[in-house]
Amino acid sequence: MKGKIFGIGLSRTGTTSLTAALNILGFSAIHFPTRTSQIDAHDAATDTPVALAFRELELRYPDSKFILTVRDKKEWLKSCEQLWTKHSQNFESKKFIRNLHSRLYGGIDFDHDRFSKSYDHHVAAVHQHFKGRPSALLDLDIFTSENPWKTLCPFLDVPIPEQPFPHQNSKAIIDEILLRIVNNTNSASKAAELAQVSPSYVEALLDKGHGPDFTNSLKLDGGDEASKIVRNLIESIGTIKAAEVLDVDSTFIDALNKMD
């Protein structure tokens, strides 16, 4: 197998942004592959299934390049707690994800101390494995870097593109989508059911006094997670009703359906 590009950072370290960046650079990149055949069919792969199997992937695909996305651990833990609160029921219902989280984080539920140790262990294991091989591994902090392109592109030996580096999975956009659903259904539990997120997360949003700003158009730059929530809504109630619930026109739905 020829060499590929692998993003081997843990959840919430910018794996979706890295995937978008690699696609911009002209690489066919897949986020969260669940089968080897998916990796075979792409130039690059990212997220936790890849992070877990980085040693095996190097054996299968010699001369590959590996990108370890990292993040301030305090901010990472906070982001993980929010994600697990939002999607705990969905995580628990899927065997593949339960096994993945058990192996990476030592359990399927969020635990601050256990996750903190898992983060340190993963970063240390990656650094030890690639010790003395700077051409094979890049540490990339998308969150604090002024321009991540300047770090990523030389590592991949490609020119820096003119467009800004993509920052995906915007929490603000995801929260606005959920609040728009609540506004239409008048029910936090119904909104959680339609979006397939945890009811406690939606209730926490309402407790904070947040409200959607319907004077602004809903944007599509919320990354994979935002797109998934909207697609869940479409599957639950249909395209026309979904557009009504989100208070968007048909062009928004059309644009979403054209996204990979």
Residues 80 and 176 in one domain: no
What pLDDT is recorded for position 85? 84
Residues 101 and 217 in one domain: no
- Considering 123, 156, 189, which residue would you say is the last residue of a domain? 156
What pLDDT is recorded for position 98? 93
pTM value > 0.85: no
What pLDDT is recorded for position 140? 97
Q: In terms of Cα–Cα distance, which of 174, 138, 175, 173 is closest to 153?
A: 138
Q: Which residues, 6+ apart, have CB-to-CB distance to 8 below 8 Å?
A: 46, 50, 51, 54, 66, 67, 68, 69, 126
Bridge-based pairing of strands 5-7 and 29-31 is: unpaired
Let me know if residue 164 belongs to a domain: no
Residues 11 and 117 in one domain: yes
Strand order in the sheet with 29-31: 29-31, 44-46, 5-7, 65-69, 137-140
- Considering 101, 127, 156, which residue would you say is the last residue of a domain? 156
Query: What is the chain's pLDDT, residue by residue, as a tens digit (260 residues)?
Result: 679 999 999 999 999 889 989 999 999 999 999 999 999 999 999 999 999 999 999 999 999 999 999 999 998 998 899 888 878 777 777 899 999 999 999 999 999 999 999 999 999 999 999 999 999 999 999 988 889 999 999 999 999 999 988 876 556 677 778 888 888 888 888 888 887 777 887 888 787 665 555 445 565 554 556 777 777 777 888 877 877 877 777 666 666 555 43
What pLDDT is recorded for position 43? 97
Average pLDDT value for the chain: 85
Quote the CA–CA distance of 184 and 247 in Å, as a whole number: 9
Let me know if residue 166 belongs to a domain: no
Let me know if residue 225 belongs to a domain: yes
**Count of domains forming the chain:** 2
Residues 140 and 193 in one domain: no
Quote the CA–CA distance of 40 and 23 in Å, as a whole number: 16
211 in Cβ contact with 235 (< 8 Å): no
Dmax (CA) of the chain: 57
Q: How many CA atoms lie within 13 A of 182 on its CB side?
A: 23
Residue 35 is part of which domain span?
A: 5-156
CATH code, 79? 3.40.50.300
What pLDDT is recorded for position 259? 46
Residues 133 and 196 in one domain: no
Residues 48 and 130 in one domain: yes
Let me know if residue 165 belongs to a domain: no
End-to-end CA distance of the chain: 25
What pLDDT is recorded for position 242? 79
